[in-house]
Amino acid sequence: MSEILRAEEVHKKYFIGKRAVEVLHGVSLSVQRGETLSIMGASGSGKSTLLHILGGLDRPDAGDVFFEETSLVRMKPPKRAAFRAQRVGFVFQSYHLLPELDVLENVLLPSMATRRRNVRERAEHLLEQVGLSDRMDHRPTELSGGEQQRVAIARALMNSPDLIFADEPTGNLDSHTGENVLHNLFDLAQAENRTLILVTHNEEIAGHCQRELLLKDGKLEE
Ligand code: ADP
Ligand code: MG
């Protein structure tokens, strides 16, 4: 196994007016390639903040995150944008699909930032994997929540990212639909040997991951 991602003493605080809210208080973490990892923690404990920092969407106040030994903090903005576009896939609780695009176009969107070929075949393959072959020309508003999230999963995998981050991906779904969506996510991640970091409130879901972590008082516990 080889390390793909490492966080070292990550700190993050927000200011609300003049009052500082310490969210992350020295988070360190080493993630191996191909690993599946869950992060649990109370609402407001900083899970989303941590995920955004690990995926290069946000920067820590102190500490650093290394992707294959390259510092995300010291990376210049264009390079960090390319890192996010090509190496990282995000699935959010609220899907974040573009309403004016159809399902196929939503999945194709990340490939616009690459020179990858055969993107249409890839998008169609992923939509088939999540059981939406017959919904490709639908708009997101014409789909159920579970279907929208499956589109978001296909989109997150479009560029074959090394890292997949899922932030409470089943938070808006009933438990049966959520299970199906998670099966899609785990199956796809595993089939392509991707690294999956999953934030969830659900202990059973967390139990499907190889490692379970708890974010508490600004720190991670194994
Ligand atoms: P979680 O995902 O675990 O629910 P978050 O990472 O979203 O937690 O938020 C952690 C804490 O930081 C919360 O108290 C939240 O209110 C605060 N917070 C998050 N984002 C901001 C922001 N942009 N400005 C100020 N406070 C924020
Ligand atoms: Mg959150």
**pLDDT category of residue 204 using cuts at 50, 70 and 90:** confident
Which residue, by CA, sits nearest to atom 24 of ligand 1? 14
pTM recorded for the entire structure: 0.94
The fraction of the chain above a pLDDT of 70, given in percent, is 100
Give pLDDT tens digits for 153-203. Answer: 999 999 999 999 999 999 888 888 888 888 889 988 888 889 999 999 888
Is the pLDDT at 113 greater than 90? The verdict is no
> What's the pLDDT at 199?
95
CA angle 150, 186, 29 (to 5 degrees): 115
- Distance (Å, whole) CA 24 – CA 36: 22
Range of the domain at 112: 34-48+77-215
Q: Do the domain assignments include residue 55?
A: no
Structure confidence at residue 59 (pLDDT): 95
Backbone phi and psi for residue 220, each to the nearest 5 degrees, phi listed first:
-95, 135
- List the end-to-end C-alpha distance of the chain, in Å, as a whole number: 19
Residues in CB range of 160: below 8 A, 6 or more apart? 192, 194
| Residue-wise burial string across 171-206, b where 16 or more C-beta atoms lie within 10 A, e elsewhere | ebbeeebbbbbbebbbebbeeeebbbbbbbebeebb
45 lines ligand 1 (CB under 6 A): yes
Q: Which residue has the tokens 């599946």?
A: 36
**How many domains, in total, are found in the chain?**
1
Q: Is residue 155 part of a domain?
A: yes
In a domain, 96, yes or no: yes
* pLDDT band, very low/low/confident/very high, at 120 (cuts 50, 70, 90): very high
Check residue 110 and report its DSSP letter.
Answer: G
- Is there a domain that residue 222 lies in? no
Provide the CATH number for the domain around residue 133.
3.40.50.300
Task: Establish if 129 belongs to a structural domain.
Answer: yes
Closest ligand 1 atom to Cα of 16: 25
In angstroms, the CA 38 to CA 60 distance is 21
Q: Is residue 144 part of a domain?
A: yes
Of the two residues 1 and 142, the one the predictor is more confident about is 142
**Using a 6 Å cutoff on CB, does residue 46 contact ligand 1?**
yes
What's residue 55's pLDDT? Answer: 95
Span from the CA of 54 to the centroid of ligand 2 (angstroms): 14
Query: Could you report the per-residue pLDDT of 27-48, keeping only the tens digit for each?
Result: 999 999 999 999 999 999 999 9
Query: Residue 167 has what pLDDT?
Result: 96
The whole-chain average pLDDT of the chain stands at 94
57 has pLDDT over 90:
yes
Residue 70 in any domain: the answer is no
